[in-house]
Amino acid sequence: MKLTIIGTGYVGLVTGACFAEMGNTVTCVDIDKKKIEGLKKGVLPIYEPGLESVVTNNHKNGRLNFCTALNDPEAESDVYFIAVGTPPGEDGSADLQYVLAVAREIGRHISRYTVVVDKSTVPVGTADKVRDAIREELKKRGVDVPCDVVSNPEFLKEGAAVEDFMRPDRVVIGTDSEQVRKVMRDLYLPFMRNHERLLFMGVRDAEMTKYAGNAMLATKISFMNEIANLCELMGVDVENVRQGIGSDSRIGYSFIYPGAGYGGSCFPKDVKALVRMARNHDFEPKVLDAVEARNEAQKHVLFEKIRRRYGANLKGMTFGLWGLAFKPGTDDMREASSVVLLNELLGAGATVKAYDPVAMTAAKREFPRAWFDGGQLKLVDEQYSALDGVDAMILITEWKPFRHPDFERIRKIMKKAVIFDGRNLYDPQLLRDAGFEYSGIGR
């Protein structure tokens, strides 16, 4: 099948590459010329495990192409996927300007029956707006071209997006058209030879499913963080509590790890957008408000521990930070807990030496140049270098190389053997027996 993907971010690039991997002819379109030129040369704008080889191999074999405009002959297609960003507005609602701009552009160019797929995370009712925008442009052209708009939300985890796409646990498709059902089933069946995992539903149902799914996962995280904070006050080890409740099959172990708060491009944005949707319908989302409030507070927990230990003025102190990305497996620092923590540490006068396996370039873009020029924030190229001569170590992203480090080496190179564990990665008793002062979350 011939496909066009508009947008080459996490969702668009993974979608295009994986469809091409299954033999489809795919063109990815993005108005960012520099990004497109880079992709043609095999330079990816994001880090995602396994994605680079899929992109480069399919581009080399002619199944995956890149261009900057829908009027390019390569971009003519049977199915158009809209995969552009929907950043949060000032009120938390999803900004649809890019989605609707793409819809209008599609309306200016299609000449035969077309299926338009909303792959971006969009509020309930967006498919109607996309359809109206396309029809408006067709009317201006004085043509009557049939078009169906489908909701096909993505459920990709950053750090495992290629695997999630190639082996989905479900594919949600919102449509009322039998013709669209056939097109989408044909498109996705190669990804589910073991058994079909297509879930067909109404368009609005599919749009809500994406938000409800992310909000549910965010709720589990915030709930566990709240329990962890309570455990700490009551002399309870939350790790034992986590295992105790996780063994209940109705709860499970996923997304109940306490920590320094969730981040990334999905959970924070989607919870805020769902809250805004609720209020737009005069509904008070009390649970969602609490989820968001707990997460915002949780991002300050590590600094509060540091402040209680050392006082409000940290001038003259140096901290070693392990991790910058919002989670392992990605270089994404959007809404990352590390950003909040670094702003607080540097604001209190501290110096920080930081290391992350893949997010160093992203960090250089994220933070003010003055921090680097003034020496307050130093990015080092090796994890132990971040701990040399520091007053305390802080772990905030649970990358695999951080899980079982050489603690004897760490104790020798640190000025003081103090560890603040923002992801409960280490055993408190083992570290205390090894001569460390240890502080975790709810332990």
pLDDT bin (cut points 50, 70, 90) of residue 88 is confident
pLDDT at residue 47 is higher than 90: yes
Q: What is the pLDDT of residues 113-136, one digit of tens each?
A: 999 999 999 999 999 999 999 999
Residue with tokens 């073991």: 194
Q: CA-to-CA distance for 358 and 48, rounded, in angstroms?
A: 10
What one-character-per-residue DSSP string does 178-242 give?
Answer: HHHHHHHHHHHGGG-SSS--EEEE-HHHHHHHHHHHHHHHHHHHHHHHHHHHHHHHHT--HHHHH
Catalytic residues: 266
Give residue-wise pLDDT tens across range 405-422.
999 999 999 999 999 999
Q: What pLDDT digit, counting tens, does each position of 243-267 carry? A: 999 999 999 999 999 999 999 989 9
Note the residue count of the chain. Answer: 443
- CA dist., res. 394 & res. 420, Å (int): 5
Please determine, for residue 75, whether its predicted confidence score (pLDDT) is greater than 80: no
pLDDT of residue 181: 96
Read off the pLDDT of residues 327-358 as tens digits, 9 standing for 90 and up: 999 999 999 999 999 999 999 999 999 999 99
Mean pLDDT confidence for 300-325: 97
CA 1 vs. chain centroid, Å, equals: 29
User: Which of 265, 248, 245 has its CA nearest to residue 257?
Assistant: 245
Across 28-57, average pLDDT = 96
Pairing of β 351-355 and β 318-322: parallel
Q: Are 65 and 16 within 8 A, CB to CB?
A: no
* Selection from 231, 187, 234, 143 nearest residue 5 by Cα: 187
Confidence of residue 71 (pLDDT cuts 50, 70, 90): confident
pTM: 0.92
Question: Does 106 score more than 80 pLDDT?
Answer: yes
Cα→Cα distances 287→51, 204, 206, Å: 36, 22, 22
- Per-residue pLDDT tens digits for 152-196: 999 999 999 999 999 999 999 999 999 999 999 999 999 998 888
Query: Is residue 54 scored above 80 in pLDDT?
Result: yes
Give the integer Cα–Cα distance in Å for 102 and 110.
12
Q: Give the burial class of 382: count Cβ atoms within 10 A of its Cβ; 0-12 exposed, 13-18 middle, 19 or more buried.
A: exposed
- How many whole angstroms separate alpha carbon 416 and alpha carbon 419? 9
Q: What is the mean pLDDT of the chain?
A: 96
**90 pLDDT higher than 80:** no
